[in-house]
Structure 1
Amino acid sequence: MVRDVTASMLREVCRDVSTEPTLLPLDGEHMRYRTANTTNEARVDISARGFWTRGQRAFMDIRIFDPMAACHREISLETAHQRNEQEKIRAYGERIQHVDQGSFTPLVFTTSVGMGPKAKCFYSRLADVMVEKKHQPRSHVVAWMRCHLSFSLLRFALLCLRGTRYSAPTTTDIAGLDYQATVVESGIIV
């Protein structure tokens, strides 16, 4: 869903994009946080080479949370985003930086399509790279991205409400996509 949409966007602009890559096993390294994921089969949602820094592998892990859940009711939405980002960073950040020699970005969303600060930065950078590569207006690329992410989050929320009904995953081929035409045809207001 969100992972697959993000991975397909990354495949357009990065090399070596994979979903659910296994992190390198620990070899005696000690992590600072007790909540760090130290299992040998630890995985994140997406990795791509050359996203933030040329040649370096970037790792992303997605979390979607309900801002109306009891554990988030007493805090501001901004604080809830920061807490969720920090939990992901504590679980994977140090290990990815020191063992896998990569960068880590937590992609935190709310079920109502809100994004955390690091996710906003990530998707803004992704839009910039896609604009540069595809020679499309930034406003159309951003509108197209928001639309796809919104529908992915909506599908996720419906799945949580209805339960699973297996169907083969579908992927969208965006290699030759004209973002401007798609935005205009869809009636998305830019």
Structure 2
Amino acid sequence: MTCKKGGFVCIRHDEVRDLTASMLREVCRDVTTEPTLLPLNGEHVQYRTANTTNEARVDVSARGFWTRGQRAFMDIRIFDPMAACYQKIPLEAAHQKNEREKIRSYGDRIRNVDHGTFTPLVFTTSGEMGPKAKCFYSRLADVMDEKKHQTRSHVVAWMRCRLSFSLLRSALLCLRGTRYSAPTTIDLDGLNYQATVVESGILV
């Protein structure tokens, strides 16, 4: 659940990103995945851990989500609460720790350079949301209810179900998927197709 070999941690993260972007496209304009932030031009950032590279990017952006006309930026993190670094702290503190790390990486830069808002979307691998993620998806449900004329309780139930299944599929992939990052190749040179079909009992 924590090993990054094979890219499964990234796949888990990407599925939630794409689902969130799809929901935002239903109610917002200018929705982008992996948007590149504006480069720094002598601006001072508050924290030493801030991402100051010219290629810095977050996961999703959408215009008009929190404030009309303003661009909102969101970055997703999914962590394993059973990892060794979280075993001695409460789950709520682990959520807040991950949110603070994201805010220190991007919040100051987005606010002062991109002139947008930043919201960290933190989940556990089992589907628990951090405080800011709960606020974000609650607001998203309100906007979807208003624009789609759907019952809010149904919107919330559907949203939670989709997010839960996305995290569940990703968790199963991490637990049961192959750990080899290189694709497996099959040598077809000299392969006897007829013998292989007969020996395998494949119906023709």
Same fold (TM over 0.5): yes
Residue number in structure 2 paired with 1:3: 17
Aligned length: 166
Q: CA deviation at 1:29?
A: 1.3
Structure 2 gap segments, 5+ residues each? 1-14, 181-204
Structure ID, larger Rg: 2
Q: CA deviation at 1:87?
A: 0.2
Q: Deviations over 1:118-138 (max 9, x none)?
A: 000000000000000111111
User: How far apart, in 2, do the equivalents of 1:87 and 1:125 lie?
Assistant: 23
2:129 alignment partner, one of 115, 120, 137: 115
Query: Could you say what the CA RMSD is over the residues aligned between the two structures, in angstroms?
Result: 1.4
Letter aligned with residue 27 of structure 2:
V
Answer with 27-36 or 53-62: which moved more.
27-36
4+ runs of 1 displaced by more than 2 Å? Answer: 158-161
User: How far apart, in 2, do the equivalents of 1:156 and 1:33 lie?
Assistant: 32
Residue number in structure 2 paired with 1:94: 108
User: How far apart, in 1, do the equivalents of 2:74 and 2:171 lie?
Assistant: 21
Q: CA deviation at 1:32?
A: 1.2
Q: CA deviation at 1:155?
A: 2.1
TM-score, normalization by structure 2: 0.79
Residue number in structure 2 paired with 1:35: 49
Q: Deviations over 1:77-108 (max 9, x none)?
A: 00000000000000000000000000000000
Residue number in structure 2 paired with 1:130: 144
Q: CA deviation at 1:26?
A: 0.5
Does 1:141 pair with 2:155? yes
User: How far apart, in 2, do the equivalents of 1:66 and 1:77 lie?
Assistant: 10
Letter aligned with residue 112 of structure 2:
H
SS at match of 1:99: helix
**Cα distance 1:157–1:135, how it changes in 2: closer, same or farther (>3 A)?**
same
Letter aligned with residue 12 of structure 1:
E
Structure 1 gap segments, 5+ residues each? 166-190
Q: CA deviation at 1:20?
A: 0.2
**Cα distance 1:163–1:90, how it changes in 2: closer, same or farther (>3 A)?**
farther
User: How far apart, in 1, do the equivalents of 2:40 and 2:78 lie?
Assistant: 28
Q: CA deviation at 1:156?
A: 2.0
TM-score, normalization by structure 1: 0.85
User: How far apart, in 1, do the equivalents of 2:166 and 2:78 lie?
Assistant: 11
**Cα distance 1:15–1:78, how it changes in 2: closer, same or farther (>3 A)?**
same
Letter aligned with residue 165 of structure 2:
F
Residue number in structure 2 paired with 1:44: 58
SS at match of 2:142: helix
